Copies of this chain bind each other. A is one copy, B any other.
Amino acid sequence: MTDTLAEKYTVDEYIERIIAFHGTLAPGLLIGGYMVDHALCNRPGGEFFDALCETSVCLPDAVQLLTPCTFGNGWLKICDVGRFALTFFEKYSGEGVRVHLDAAGLDAYPEIQNWFLRLKPKHDQDMERLIREIRTAKAGILGMKRVRVHERFVGKEKGGRIVLCPSCGEAYPERDGPRCRACGGTALYI
């Protein structure tokens, strides 16, 4: 743990970036900053790494703000299983480090516990105290372990041919079948 998060921003600067990008100072995004930092400090060697987020709530934005991995460049992958955890892994071997917010280790931080386990309605939570507790706790509320991600997250899907859908006329990847997935049954519009 350094004075900056991910060797990029001080905590105050990161909070400014959170508000500019995400809209509000979401507690999960501040904790996410410490999670990204902790995972980066402990990740295996190798020049290139990808990120895997186990939730779509808040945490992906911490990765996008603090690392080169974004949703649109494909280096940030989401598999939303509802756990507040992220993994950085070497993009060819899949070997990496997983960091999660440890629900069992929050006794010393009652306001983080209230927020994370939703023990109090939102309007009864003390936001100032919550932020203070997060800044005090730093990586002390996180669990970490070495992992190897499932092969479906490793490597990159080949581009393949682009063709026009006979139903909608729009371009789509030929590997999806004889028509695009939207025309093939994935409901988007009514």
Interface set of A (CB-CB < 8 Å, partner B): 21-24, 26, 29, 52, 54, 56-62, 64, 68, 70-74, 78-79, 81-85, 94, 98, 100-104, 116-118, 147-152, 159, 161-162, 164-165, 168-173, 176, 180-182, 186-190
Contacts and interface: CB of A to CB of B under 8 A. Distances in A.
Given A82-B173, A117-B171, A188-B150, A73 B61 contact: yes
A16 B71 CA distance: 18
A189 B23 CA distance: 33
Contacts of A71: 56, 60-61, 64, 71, 78
A29 B72 contact: yes
Contacts of A98: 189
A121 to B, nearest CB: 10
A56 B81 contact: no
A103 B149 CA distance: 37
A47 to B, nearest CB: 14
A66 B71 CA distance: 15
Given A56-B74, A57-B74, A118-B161, A79 B151 contact: no
Given A21-B70, A83-B182, A116 B189 contact: no
Given A68-B23, A73-B23, A150-B189, A81 B116 contact: no
Q: For A83, A101, A164, which residue has the most chain B Cβ atoms within 10 angstroms?
A: A83
B100 A72 contact: no
Contacts of A24: 73
A54 B151 CA distance: 25
14 contacts: A21-B64, A23-B68, A26-B72, A58-B72, A60-B70, A61-B71, A61-B73, A64-B72, A71-B78, A82-B173, A83-B170, A83-B180, A103-B169, A149-B190
